[in-house]
Amino acid sequence: MNSELNPFEAPAEKAPNDTVTPSGVPIELANPVTQPAKARLWTVLVTMLVATGAYVVASVVSVVLMTMLYIFSNDSSQMPDLEVLMSEFATYPGALWVLVAPGQFTILAVTLVATFLSPEKFTKRLILQTPRWPIWVTIAASFAAPLVSLIWSIPLSMVVQTSQHLEFMVTLFKNAGQGIGIVGLFLCVSILPAVSEEWLFRGYIQSRLLKRWHPALAIGVSSLLFAGFHMDPVHVVAVIPLGLWLGVITYYSGSIYPAMLAHAYNNAISIIATVYLGSETLNSSFASIENIVILGIGLPGLIVTMFWLATRGKAEPQTTIAA
């Protein structure tokens, strides 16, 4: 007897993704579309905590090393007063590399490890790619960076007194910038932070936050983290506008390179003003030589950048990947 007419034979099972046409020919259905995984934020939190802890440890080690060098050079067995220690050590050759460089290299090391652990390509994870805007906009945005800091620091100087830490850094810069030491000063204060801090805060942190949060929130949070990393309360408040500016140009350029250049240029201007023009930490007058130069170069840069953003600037949507 034909099995098709056998009423006692069980019907054949159908695959879950198959259906049957009226003629009995099975049709395979397409698999359901899966949604991409959301970018994970816990990696940002862990990286920030590890970087902060490592930076604090590096800073403590630097202070301990500074104390040991002071005791050894002065042939003393007594623990010196911190203020005396700082003012004395600021005059030592190589003091800048003992106090500043270890923390910056620590930030860079943590960022590199976190990036290599990500499934994304290294250059894409840190947005080390060609900017979406012309090179002249990058230059203009970099010239504007010191002006953004200046516009905020002048009213800030009217209500806030400079800190002991910032005064120490000014003395340190002036001593380290003598003669050939100016090369090391630029490397340690201008180039190194432009790499380590931008790779962490704009490259690793902000780029990830942009995949989950509104751009204003992502830029704001990464800028506050950047400011908080400077530890000293006065310095923290002073660099918030700079952090916001660096976050904005990174977002609209789609690259970390403009922020790196702007950061390096901003710190280089601070070095020149401190070493060669005798500038103080918080200058409350637009009439000073360094502020006139910053205004003359920075204002056109700010106008050009804002004009480009208003007429051509458009950020591309961030792609999402779990990492």
**Could you give the CA distance from residue 149 to residue 147 in angstroms, rounded to a whole number?**
5
The 10 Å CB-count burial string (b at 16+, else e) for 259-282 is bbbbbbbbbbbbbbbbbeeebebb
pLDDT tens-digit series, residues 209-250:
999 999 999 999 999 999 999 888 988 999 999 999 999 999
Please tell me the pTM assigned to this model. Answer: 0.83
Measured distance CA(276)–CA(183) in Å, rounded: 14
Q: Phi and psi for 18 in degrees, rounded to 5?
A: -110, 155
Task: Give 119-178 pLDDT, tens digit per residue.
Answer: 999 999 999 999 999 999 999 999 999 999 999 988 888 888 888 888 888 888 888 888
SS3 221: helix
Q: Which residues sit opposite 18 in a β-bridge?
A: 28
> Phi and psi dihedrals of 19, rounded to 5?
-135, 175
Q: Counting beta carbons within 10 angstroms of the beta carbon of residue 209, is it exposed (0 to 12), middle (13 to 18) or buried (19 or more)?
A: buried
